[in-house]
Chains A and B, each alone.
Chain A
């Protein structure tokens, strides 16, 4: 059922070219599409039910208490005037109220049992999460930057940015690092979050069980553009994944047209190559995202803009118009160079 909804509604939506809908992928902890998220979701349901029951019971007890006290107050002659002229009931100071104390004790005991149940459920869930089978795991190295994601598949020899592809049904071990400040990887449909801490290496294991595009977003405040640091995670069938890694592993082809050739020269000559890599050319900067397969990516600027020519041009001219604080400087190129550069970049599939 879920798969049906996904494939009939969400995926076509995700393929729509319009800006908003291109990102209308899922980003929800309530619709798990992987085993880790599903396990946590079960714990959520259990906890929610238990807490809701406790909430209802206590609010009910409060209502009954108020009703009883209201009746007792009326019976004793509480007036609606300003000053409570009702004499205080000091009986409890003379003799201890054993029944009341017993009730409090019972309430506390029941609360304690509930808490122990929560603890057991949590520990059990933790063990389930730790038990994800790791055979044939795909290894990914994800490095956080202000404000984009560097993605490497060391075994497949793929380097890309701002897109993560995972095979459905195979575990993925993501090694998390950061180049600058703390970021957090969070793909709510697939797993809980994990921090990316400079000076430390962390890992998270996840597995997508249904194909789809799941949006991840940086969850740790990381500076000016923390809000605009997204990462589309695409889960595809293993065969498709293999094709994808193969394609992504190739170096950029020689430009086929004059315009593209000029574009490449612009790329290498202008500031671009200082920060960006296009495999197979002299551009091998590492400060910015690898652009070898830029044209195949769904979005620009870490999930922010749909990847089309107009957006690409606007982004190159003035990235800060979209993303104040991004490290990329504005590049107001002459029209001919810009045209050629765009031609070239669009050929990097």
Chain B
């Protein structure tokens, strides 16, 4: 538990070895529960999020089996409703948002040239909370208490009258878990980006991926509170008889929809913006040139972030809202296409003027173009009030959202995995398997989802567990089921590829793709401290641009968890700081918090008594250890 005491420069040990000793997580089970290294935590996040992705996918396969034939009795309505609710909830809350944040947590310190993230213990806490929330949801599902009112949980269907039992409470509390994690991660990411960049990495030189993560984190900050408030009001409506959503006593069913979509639409963008950064990284590397229009890209990301808050009502065009208001939201929904267009044109221009090296990561990015473009265009259709009244809540929307979310997030995510896998593990993934996986995924995806546009126009509503024969929907549904299994096979191939490559892949070296950003300067896989020598940055692509002096930071003690903090815009060295050591308290606090959240489903009084363990564990977490405090005090340089 205690940090190995290293005398610093007095021992003639290799500085890299000293750094490793200083920064690595302690061994053993207790050590694992105490881990705070950003790569350890991020890897756990990635594993967990991927596991939820696979589980969510299995739920989808079950749904597709049920829908393969008309009037099918394979899966009853009760289970089916749980399946689609769990699928949406899992993919949105337990996969898409955390997986993007996890990649950010893993990569950002490397990209920015620092040793860790800001608030490493909070980072660990966020992971545990996220994990416990997801496990609670699936445990409930396995004992037949899976939520069944849709991932959007519209009231009054989700209130106590029409959804008795604990199912919806579990859903709402799962929201609380994942939101807590996401909000904390957002703060970690923002502060890491603002304060921990290598000297010389001005905002204007920051990798586009970091910009994307920054914008995403701000969206999280302002969007997630809405669903937290909404779900809290839902829970109090259900458990202690408040009347927020009860029209009989002055509440309103549409209030839920406003609050939910005020979060729900930015949610799409906070899933979709990080991949934009991934794409910029991959395209620049494989076009062998810097991105065209760096500043235009940055402005587009920021504009997308702002505009994403002006769209929520386009989920509510079929309700009764004033026409003028709807036109405003149509205009806003169309307008958000402009920054996306700017980015697409910049990528095209980069490819156009570049020199192509076609590798699997780029393949996934190219597929993004085709699929996201299609999804974006169908999005324009949905933005129109009149068209939306026909398309809303049909399979057309199912197709659209999968084009946007899978095209905009999952395809680039696979690209990101192929691209950064050598950095994660030190070995390359198989190109051959990768190409197979890609084509299977691409084909399976289009077979599954493209015809859904048509079946939606042909009148098939969403969220139906069955449909009658003779509607003309049979062939398309059977095809979609077949396509879904192609996607599943492709994901299986990915798992095989990732698993085999860990041992048998070709050794990667620090920079196998000849990329230009800082993460490729660290060894693959990076040591616990990321860099033996902390870099100084002089341009946007430090590994491509000719060396300039000074090129390294001196005066940071390798025997201590010391980091350099820089100023927000110009990244000038500002002060040094000792980062917290590994600690089991975030884990224990997360356990206490879980007891609090889960118990409050069953008795409102838990809000009172279960507060105490949370407060105590959190206090112990922050309570300084005398030895550490003294060490800090001894080497103190006052501002």
Contacts and interface: CB of A to CB of B under 8 A. Distances in A.
Q: Do chains A and B touch in the complex (CB under 8 A)?
A: yes
A21 interface: yes
Nearest to B506: A82
A228 to B, nearest CB: 8
Given A92-B289, A198-B247, A227-B464, A78 B356 contact: yes
B253 interface: yes
Interface stretch (B185-193, B270-278, B326-334): B326-334
Given A28-B457, A69-B351, A44 B77 contact: no
Given A28-B458, A83-B512, A84-B357, A192 B390 contact: yes
A58 B344 contact: yes
Interface string A62-86: 1011101110110110100011111
A84 B341 CA distance: 29
Interface string B463-474: 111111111000
B319 A70 contact: no
Contact of B348 (A62, A75, A324): A62
B288 A92 contact: no
A66 B351 contact: yes
B390 A44 contact: yes
Contacts of B286: 84
B336 to A, nearest CB: 10
Interface string A13-52: 0000000110110111110000001011001100110010
B556 interface: no
A252 B544 CA distance: 88
A324 B148 CA distance: 15
A215 interface: yes
Contacts of A158: none
Interface stretch (B11-19, B27-35, B373-381, B574-582): B373-381
Given A51-B380, A73-B357, A58 B373 contact: yes
B380 A104 contact: no
A23 B285 CA distance: 57
A78 B394 CA distance: 47
B338 A85 contact: no
Contacts of A24: 470-471
Given A69-B354, A84-B285, A111 B341 contact: yes
Given A29-B457, A195-B319, A221-B463, A58 B369 contact: yes
Interface stretch (A125-133, A162-170, A266-274, A308-316): A125-133
Contacts of B338: 108, 111-112, 115
Interface in B432-480: 457-459, 461-471
A30 B463 contact: no
Interface stretch (B99-107, B214-222, B290-298, B619-627): B290-298
Interface of B: 76-78, 81, 149-150, 154, 156-157, 161-162, 247-248, 251-254, 285-290, 292-293, 296, 318-320, 323, 326-327, 330-331, 334-335, 337-338, 341-342, 344-346, 348-349, 351-359, 366, 369-370, 373-374, 377-378, 380-381, 383-394, 428, 431, 457-459, 461-471, 506, 509, 512-514, 516, 539-541, 544-545
Closest 10 CB pairs of A and B: A199-B247, A192-B389, A27-B459, A227-B464, A69-B356, A65-B352, A73-B355, A51-B377, A122-B384, A111-B341
8 contacts: A27-B458, A66-B351, A73-B354, A89-B288, A97-B292, A186-B393, A194-B320, A199-B247
Interface of A: 20-21, 23-24, 26-30, 37, 39-40, 43-44, 47-48, 51, 54-55, 58-59, 61-62, 64-66, 68-70, 72-73, 75-76, 78, 82-90, 92-93, 97, 100-101, 103-104, 107-108, 111-112, 115, 118-119, 121-123, 125-126, 129-130, 146, 180-182, 184, 186, 188, 191-195, 197-200, 202, 215, 217-228, 304, 324-325
